[in-house]
Amino acid sequence: MFVSIIKEISMGHRLYNSKLSNRQNYALYGKCSNPNGHGHNYVIELTVKGEVDARTGMVLSLDSIKSIFNREITEKFDHKFLNYDLKEFKNTVPTSENIAKLMWEKLENKFSPAELHRILIKESRSSYFEYFGG
């Protein structure tokens, strides 16, 4: 059984690789490399996978999934400027791909006896990124 929650969080970032010139960064990331950064209202979907507990009729309660998400993701990421506020992005470009991988690391093994199955990140209405670990 797969159970998902959907949350919106706001984060700022600049897509910029310090090993490249400004011109190379612009060629790679376009306006997302603008020096003063920009923000998004990201929609995050979190999916856990597990067996339905015969006693409760649930995999995990939605409240417990939401509270783990709040503790591991919202409190650490919401209203942060990722390049400066999160040490993990000091030397890593905060693309949606890398955000998904970092969120996976924060959430992996937190849903026992269920397990983390998928992180989906929508940065805009026209695209999304999914990570299944590994």
The residue behind tokens 């919202």 is 74
Check if 40 is active-site.
Answer: no
Compute the least distance from the CB of residue 16 to Ni ion, in Å.
Answer: 11
The residue behind tokens 């990722």 is 82
The sheet carrying 127-131 orders its strands as 80-81, 2-13, 38-49, 115-124, 127-131
SS3 state of residue 5: strand
Compute the least distance from the CB of residue 39 to Ni ion, in Å.
Answer: 8
The residue whose Cβ lies closest to Ni ion is 32
Binding status of residue 99 toward Ni ion by CB under 5 A: no
Strand ranges in 50-114 using DSSP code E only, listed in sequence order = 80-81
Number of residues that bind Ni ion (CB under 5 A): 1
Residue number, 38 or 71, with CB nearest to Ni ion: 38
Check if 123 is active-site.
Answer: yes
Question: Contacts with Ni ion in 31-70 (CB under 5 A)?
Answer: 32
Catalytic, out of 8, 75, 79, 108:
79
